[in-house]
Amino acid sequence: MREAPNGTKPVKLIAAACNSMGIGLNGYLPWNLPNEFKYLLDTITRVTQPGKKNLLLWGRQSFETFDESLLPLPNCIIALLSRKLSTVPPYVSYLCKNEEEILKFASTPPLNDEIETIWVLGGVESYKNLMQHPWCNHIYFTKIMADFECDTFFPEFDKNIFKLKENFPGVPSGIQEENGVKYVFQVYQRDLLVDLL
């Protein structure tokens, strides 16, 4: 597995998208897939070392549509991206104007001793910016095998750089089905050989 350089933290993107790569409509998920959503929660809250936490990087609009009754999330610290907010909302630990500011926090003491993984939960600009960042090593992607009306779309990514990994540890394999909708959990891993070329 590709490790982040010393002093940095692995950045991982996580999203679910339908056939058109749509991820949202009017700020909300266009589908109702509780088991898929539980997979997301289980993934972003899982840590391998006791006492460690994951840093969740969230765009303001994505965060505002999240079910507040689920907060605070276990083993998680929330960093919110916003150029408009001046006060830190409930359950948020850090308010930053851009992704680099958050990454700097995460890799600087004392926070870097506490953080295990940085999970990017949207929005689209954060996905686009951070998938190109050298710390980004995985895209956790739920491929929803159906068509939904969407107004927000996951950015295209180079599958020669991020390669689909079969039977990835901790990720259910095979086609899942829920409420008549089929989907499959996928993980794309950055190809280290491409980085070295």
Helices (DSSP H) in the chain: which residue ranges? Answer: 34-45, 60-64, 99-106, 111-114, 124-131, 192-196
Task: Please give the structure tokens belonging to residue 181.
Answer: 């909708």
Please identify which of the residues 13, 36, 57, 99 carries the catalytic annotation: 36
Active site residue 121: no
Give CA–CA dist 122/180, Å, rounded: 26
Please identify which of the residues 29, 71, 101, 114 carries the catalytic annotation: 29
Active site residue 164: no
E-strand ranges in the chain read 11-17, 22-24, 53-59, 76-81, 94-96, 115-120, 136-144, 152-153, 162-165, 175-178, 181-190
Helices (DSSP H) in 46-191: which residue ranges? Answer: 60-64, 99-106, 111-114, 124-131
Active site residues: 29, 36
